[in-house]
Amino acid sequence: MTLTPDLLLHAYSIGVFPMAEHREDDEIFWVDPKQRGIFPIDQFHISRSLAKTIRRSAYVISVNRAFAEVVQACADREETWINGEIFDRYLDLHAMGHAHSLEVWDQDRLVGGVYGVSLGGGFFGESMFSRQRDTSKIALAYLMDRLRQAGFHLCDTQFLTPHLASLGAVEISRAAYKARLHAALEVEADFDAPQLPSPALLLQRMTQTS
């Protein structure tokens, strides 16, 4: 089966996503976990230390400025499920307006980021990376604020890890996920619409909703 952008979007709409065993493996398989990780959009947890880093850091945040570089950085590790075909199809989705990245910059150096796919009111987080302490967490904080401001109802993390759980992610059953997915797809959300907040405004919003 040829992996196409339309096939990818259909897969997300029914709750499955693609993976490869490793970077050099041409075979792609579909995953539909029995237990699904999600971020309740209004429950992202910012620790005191992370809030301090966000408040005092000189990092620059951007949206969709370096999508390909973010995906490449996420794949640049010993074990990755992102092979060449998956990489290319996400670039296609980005060109179509269905895949997005959020970047963290230290001057002109990309030091952290996250990317995922949007469909209706659902955002499907794919991967993130960090080259300096807490930069992936910073990217996630700005992502969760953006999803809330843009009207998204679902943020999928695919699996629940201890790291994601520490930030507020939870695990739900496949049936519960599919019900939330169905409801989210009935909603129109615009990832590109919100303006990036200042660190102070970001933290104020997170304090009000967490």
User: What are 2-50's pLDDT values in tens digits?
Assistant: 789 999 999 999 999 988 877 677 788 899 999 999 999 988 999 999 9
Residue 19 located in a structural domain: no
Query: What is the domain count for the chain?
Result: 1
Question: Which residue, chain included where needed, has tokens 């049936």?
Answer: 175
pTM of full prediction above 0.85: yes
Residues 64, 49, 77, CA angle at the centre, nearest 5°?
50
Q: Which domain holds residue 204?
A: 34-67+99-209
In a domain, 27, yes or no: no
Examine residue 202 and state whether it is found in any structural domain, yes or no. Answer: yes
The CATH number of the domain where 136 resides is what? Answer: 3.40.630.70
- Report yes or no on 12 lying in a domain: no
Mean predicted lDDT score pLDDT of the chain: 93
